[in-house]
């Protein structure tokens, strides 16, 4: 599967069953079919989560006020140095950094004919961005009531798109890379970076008064969900591309269960 173990579908798993249902369709058609279904499920889940946060959690005693007061405490401790640092932290999780990174990975992989990796790099960000856009429109939430350091729509607090994008791109790419690396120290180092970068982004967005902690939590869910959607799409497409191999494997598995 483009030499990436993370793209290997589990025998009898959902990706393999989805590919089998589509029959002999082109891998690209299977990829985009799985992508569309995954996006619909992710966007729906994000909207439900947003409604739960805005209509339920924020009205529970203490949670709504704590969500707001945390941002106010960050705003009270602002300094010029921290303002500049938060701008850098925000840029790490937004445009143009992430689109350029995803685009470069996709271009290099396309030249090497590693189509699944290229598709993952491009569409993990696309799925995250589309999910963010839909959920922020359907679930309008007022940003924290502090002086905001960016001039963005005031009713787009949920979810944190920067946090979601940072997780989708950095953690997603590290997942692909580390699935091929056996050196435990390198794997740990890579995952430390993949975890720390979204944390820096999330703290920067809250410091700048753009999101509440619960909005960041929503971004975490969307970022992880975008990775899951792309893994599903890549695995399903890979099953079709290598149909003879996985069909033989499926038959052997079925025979073993009947024996």
What are the chain's domains? 5-258 (1.20.144)
Mean pLDDT of 35-50: 98
156 strand-pairing partners: 141
| pLDDT of 247 higher than 90 | no
Q: Are 137 and 22 in contact (CB under 8 A)?
A: no
Q: What percentage of residues in the chain have a pLDDT greater than 70?
A: 92
Mean pLDDT of 30-38: 96
What pLDDT is attached to residue 251?
A: 47
From the list 176, 131, 222, the residue with the least C-alpha distance to 4 is 176
Q: What is the DSSP string of 110-131?
A: HHTT-HHHHHHHHHHHHHHHHH
Mean pLDDT of 67-88: 96
| pLDDT of 186 higher than 80 | yes
| pLDDT of 67 higher than 50 | yes
| pLDDT of 163 higher than 60 | yes
CB atoms within 10 A of CB 189: 12
Residue 255's pLDDT band (boundaries 50, 70, 90)?
very low
**Residue linked to tokens 């491009």:** 122
Residue 23's pLDDT band (boundaries 50, 70, 90)?
confident
Mean pLDDT of 125-154: 96
| pLDDT of 24 higher than 90 | no
| pLDDT of 12 higher than 70 | yes
| pLDDT of 38 higher than 60 | yes
Mean pLDDT of 216-224: 98
Mean pLDDT of 86-111: 96
| Span between the terminal Cα atoms of the chain, in Å | 30
What pLDDT is attached to residue 241?
A: 72
| pLDDT of 50 higher than 80 | yes
pTM listed for this prediction:
0.91
């Amino acid at each position: 599967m483009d030499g990436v173990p993370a793209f290997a579908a589990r025998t009898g798993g959902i990706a393999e069953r989805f590919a089998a249902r589509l029959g002999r369709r082109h891998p690209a058609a299977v990829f985009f079919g799985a992508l569309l279904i995954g996006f619909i499920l992710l966007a729906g889940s994000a909207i439900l989560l947003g409604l739960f946060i805005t209509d339920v959690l924020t009205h529970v005693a203490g949670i709504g006020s704590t969500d707001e007061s945390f941002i106010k405490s960050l705003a009270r401790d602002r300094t010029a140095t921290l303002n500049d640092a938060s701008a850098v932290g925000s840029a790490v999780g937004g445009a143009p950094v992430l689109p350029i990174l995803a685009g470069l990975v996709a271009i290099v992989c396309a030249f090497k004919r590693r189509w699944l990796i290229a598709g993952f790099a491009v569409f993990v960000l696309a799925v995250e961005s589309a999910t963010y856009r839909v959920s922020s429109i359907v679930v309008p939430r007022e940003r924290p009531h502090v002086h905001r350091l960016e001039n963005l729509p005031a009713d787009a607090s949920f979810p944190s798109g920067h946090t979601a994008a940072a997780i989708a791109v950095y953690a997603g790419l590290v997942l692909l890379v580390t699935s091929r690396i056996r050196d435990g120290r390198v794997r740990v180092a890579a995952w430390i970076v993949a975890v720390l970068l979204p944390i820096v982004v999330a703290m920067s967005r809250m410091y700048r008064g753009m999101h509440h902690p619960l909005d960041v939590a929503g971004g975490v869910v969307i970022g992880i969900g975008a990775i899951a959607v792309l893994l599903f799409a890549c695995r399903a497409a890979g099953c079709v591309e290598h149909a003879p191999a996985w069909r033989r494997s499926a038959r052997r598995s079925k025979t073993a269960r009947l024996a």
